[in-house]
Structure 1
Amino acid sequence: MNWCAAQDYIIASPVQNVDRLLPRQKGKCERVQHHPAVPWRDIPVFAERVLRAGKPTMGKLALEFLILTAARSGEVRHMQWSEIDWDAATWTIPKERMKAGVAHRVPLAPRAIEILATRQQEEDFSPFVFPSRNGKPLSDMALTKALRDANVQSDTPGRIATAHGFRSSFCDWASENGYPRDMAERALAHTIPSAAEAAYHRTDLLEQRREMMEAWAGWVMDVLGGLDRDPNEQTQM
């Protein structure tokens, strides 16, 4: 369009004014999510009644870790011990396993570290943190099974919640608790669509995200979730 304007084919290029005329596009964290999710207000009860009830299976541990880190299923299931910095309480996912092709640092809340320490004590000699019985990465079905076995209902009527849906739950929690959209987007490892905006965001806000993720973990760990629930109320899971 700029070339056309320079050649007098048009009076002026409208491209440079598009961003002023169109409304701001929503970030990925704000867009409609199609994966059935557990409403964020219900997650503390879900965690207590499903994840920490009964035997701590590999699927349950992996699912809880996924929730605490707001990570994708594949990132958690293929997680290796070499990716953990115990001293810094940080998990670095290599770029080869990231959807955006960029390495991603994840701050680990105390409960996430506790899960890793529990797994480390089991000494199954696998390079993977959450291996299957044959030592290979845990199947995605193992996470799905933990949700199906407990009949965990989602915000989509008639649909069981999905592991990926917890990223949406986290996003809603962050938004409704006043955390900046940019910080939540970085926690979810979403790419910045604007090249100009990305040029000015060269830090991953790790320590700021650490505070947010610890607050998120605190919410997940709180059985009542800070809500004034009726003690006789039964939440269907």
Structure 2
Amino acid sequence: MTAPFILPDGFRYLPGHFDRSAQSALIEAVIAAQACAPFWRPSMPRTGQPLSVMMTNFGPLGWVTDKAKGYRYEPRHPETGQPWPQIPAALLQLWRDFAAYPAPPEACLVNWYASDSRMGLHVDWDEEATDAAVISVSLGDKARFRIGGPQRGGKTGSLIVSSGDVVVLGGEARRCYHGVDRIYPGTSTLLPEAAFTGGGRINLTLRRVTLLELGQG
């Protein structure tokens, strides 16, 4: 009999951490951010193939990717040239509560998943501070989140994440492959149609990018 998949150490799942009111406030912050940091569709390094998600960022740094320069963090939106908006206070509190790290996050990726969007298995490894947890918040439609081990092609497990749920990848889990298999359209009414045509799912991902300097924190 095949042994069951065991979640890696450092993985935490916090179902329903944000109630409906708090979820709505975060969505309003995403909508407000569009004035200086509208959603755009990044592309893969080398091939230039567009990602299936639209994205933007909060924070002093934002994750971007394109064919010419690849994966990286930048202080300004690649299309507007404006600084990213500040990380909402509720997300900074989430980091303080669950990151167990002596410095604040510097980036909050905002991914907008349409009904047919996916995110292949990957490891978040573009940061210097790989000792800091990655914390994600799901808003809107349900999704199937998949996580494996530190080697590509190994055994994986999955769970359905709903609006308001939080996933923490710390410790060993920080180095594990993970992704999103599918979106379940129409399972949430959180995202207003006027701002998010077709609805979908918003995923907010907090990251620390730079290493702490000696004596900092």
- TM-score, normalised to structure 1, is 0.27
Larger strand proportion of the pair: 2
Larger helix proportion of the pair: 1
Larger Rg: 1 or 2? 1
